[in-house]
């Protein structure tokens, strides 16, 4: 087991918050506190470099602490409650939308008015409704449910009040996903592809390379790593851009959605689903690195991205820009291309 070390970043006018990390050979694994504000998170790469100046050329991966508690260097701590986490998640998603210039009045009002419950009974009732009898085993591992319906009519039911803040971010994104993926008409995307985009946006929003669930302290597990890997590989190989993900997820635009689906067919084939065609198994895809640097044998299934040591400004675009290969020019925003 790797030894825990700490550094700190500014939190507010009077307090610094502690960040835990581990050094494994020349690699760094940083545990971002589950509800750390973006303004504090921006300090992490520089403070990390100050703390480990002798670790040359490290690979850094960022994951989340499971506990929601923030520990300050003055010995005090703060644990956000359900409403605090709701506020954090909505703020984080809104900030992402603004930063990427994709916010709209409709998204803004959907997000701010979204109902997010933490009542375990409400969650259990909804979960039971959606399951066949005898298929209840995954209930404990489910972080939350966003009920189906048009944007603005969905409700988020978290699986209890203890879910880490990034799980709230994931469900908050679901409240914004395009109506095209919902409702009576068949979605143009598989559930896996939608989850892949939801989780990609969640990790971008929270600055994580991979996300851990509430039960990760006991049973190491990463969330949607295969689903997000399909998107990340397609981005790495220039087949998909972050802008495509925004246009597909938020507007249901046809061509970007087609590229997302193609990425999943190609990199994340699932032979048990007949609507997904044959593709290259993820492990054989170009650019796939099964285990760029193993932190422990039990976590060898971390995301394929080794994580780069990036300055704060580029923290939210860790993927190479889409190469400017000639592609038919989109007819414009209104055409839904
Ligand atoms: Zn989801």
Distance set, CA 297 to CA 10, 218, 220, 293, 306 (Å)? 34, 15, 10, 10, 16
Predicted local distance difference test score (pLDDT) of residue 111: 98
User: Ligand 1 centre and the CA of 167: distance in Å?
Assistant: 9
User: Ligand 1 centre and the CA of 172: distance in Å?
Assistant: 9
190 is a domain residue: yes
How many residues comprise the chain? 337
User: Ligand 1 centre and the CA of 246: distance in Å?
Assistant: 16
336 is a domain residue: no
User: Ligand 1 centre and the CA of 74: distance in Å?
Assistant: 37
User: Ligand 1 centre and the CA of 174: distance in Å?
Assistant: 7
- How far apart, in whole angstroms, are the C-alpha atoms of residue 173 and residue 332? 25
Neighbours of 212 (CB within 10 A): 22
Residue 19 Cα to chain centre, angstroms: 20
Q: Which residues contact 220 (CB under 8 A, 6 or more apart)?
A: 212, 296, 298, 299
User: Ligand 1 centre and the CA of 291: distance in Å?
Assistant: 25
Predicted local distance difference test score (pLDDT) of residue 291: 36
Predicted local distance difference test score (pLDDT) of residue 296: 29
User: Ligand 1 centre and the CA of 332: distance in Å?
Assistant: 30
Predicted local distance difference test score (pLDDT) of residue 132: 64
Angle 65-69-71 from CA coordinates, rounded to 5°? 100
pLDDT tens, 231-275? 999 999 999 999 999 999 999 999 999 999 888 888 877 543 434
User: Ligand 1 centre and the CA of 224: distance in Å?
Assistant: 9
* Count of structural domains, the chain: 1
Predicted local distance difference test score (pLDDT) of residue 134: 61
- How far apart, in whole angstroms, are the C-alpha atoms of residue 248 and residue 131? 28
User: Ligand 1 centre and the CA of 242: distance in Å?
Assistant: 19
How far apart are the two ends of the chain, measured CA to CA in Å?
50
pLDDT exceeds 70 at position 10: yes
User: Ligand 1 centre and the CA of 146: distance in Å?
Assistant: 8
Predicted local distance difference test score (pLDDT) of residue 128: 87
Q: What is the mean pLDDT of residues 97-124?
A: 96
Q: What is the mean pLDDT of residues 72-86?
A: 97
Q: Tell me if residue 92 falls in helix, strand or coil.
A: helix
User: Ligand 1 centre and the CA of 155: distance in Å?
Assistant: 13
48 is a domain residue: yes
Q: Which residues contact 97 (CB under 8 A, 6 or more apart)?
A: 103, 107, 108, 111
**Domain extent at residue 80:** 4-331
Weakest-pLDDT range from 19-28, 37-46, 104-113, 128-137: 128-137
49 is a domain residue: yes
User: Ligand 1 centre and the CA of 199: distance in Å?
Assistant: 7
User: Ligand 1 centre and the CA of 189: distance in Å?
Assistant: 14
User: Ligand 1 centre and the CA of 279: distance in Å?
Assistant: 24
User: Ligand 1 centre and the CA of 319: distance in Å?
Assistant: 22
Predicted local distance difference test score (pLDDT) of residue 273: 44
8 is a domain residue: yes
User: Ligand 1 centre and the CA of 314: distance in Å?
Assistant: 26
User: Ligand 1 centre and the CA of 3: distance in Å?
Assistant: 33
337 is a domain residue: no
Provide the whole-model pTM: 0.80
110 is a domain residue: yes
User: Ligand 1 centre and the CA of 264: distance in Å?
Assistant: 16
């Amino acid at each position: 087991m790797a030894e825990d070390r700490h550094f700190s970043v500014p939190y507010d006018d009077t307090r610094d918050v502690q960040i835990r990390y581990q050094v494994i050979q020349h690699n760094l694994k940083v545990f971002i506190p589950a509800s750390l504000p973006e303004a504090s998170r921006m300090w992490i790469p520089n403070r990390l470099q100050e703390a480990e100046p002798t670790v040359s050329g490290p690979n850094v991966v960022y994951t989340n602490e499971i506990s929601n508690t923030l520990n300050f260097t003055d010995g005090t701590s703060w644990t956000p409650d359900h409403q605090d986490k709701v506020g954090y998640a909505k703020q984080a998603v809104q900030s992402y939308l603004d930063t990427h210039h994709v916010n709209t009045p409709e998204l803004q009002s959907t997000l701010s008015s979204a109902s997010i419950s933490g009542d375990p009974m409400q969650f259990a009732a909804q979960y039971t409704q959606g399951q066949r009898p005898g298929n209840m085993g995954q209930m404990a591992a489910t972080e939350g449910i966003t009920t189906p319906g048009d944007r603005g009519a969905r409700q988020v039911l978290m699986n209890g009040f203890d879910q880490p803040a990034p799980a709230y971010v994931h469900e908050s994104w679901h409240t914004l996903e395009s109506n095209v993926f919902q409702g009576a008409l068949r979605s143009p995307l598989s559930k896996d592809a939608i989850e892949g985009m939801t989780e990609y946006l969640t990790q971008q929003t929270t600055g994580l390379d991979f996300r851990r669930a509430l039960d990760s302290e006991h049973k190491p597990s990463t969330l949607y790593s295969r689903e997000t890997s399909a998107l990340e590989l397609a981005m790495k190989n220039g087949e998909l851009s972050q802008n495509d993900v925004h246009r597909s997820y938020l507007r249901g635009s046809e061509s970007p959605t087609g590229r997302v689906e193609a990425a999943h067919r190609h990199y994340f084939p699932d032979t048990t689903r007949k609507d997904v065609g044959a593709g290259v198994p993820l492990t054989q895809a170009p650019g796939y690195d099964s285990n760029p640097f193993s932190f422990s044998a039990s976590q060898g299934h971390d995301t394929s991205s080794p994580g780069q040591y990036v300055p704060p400004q580029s923290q939210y675009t860790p993927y190479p820009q889409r190469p400017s290969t000639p592609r038919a020019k989109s007819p414009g925003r209104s055409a839904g291309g």
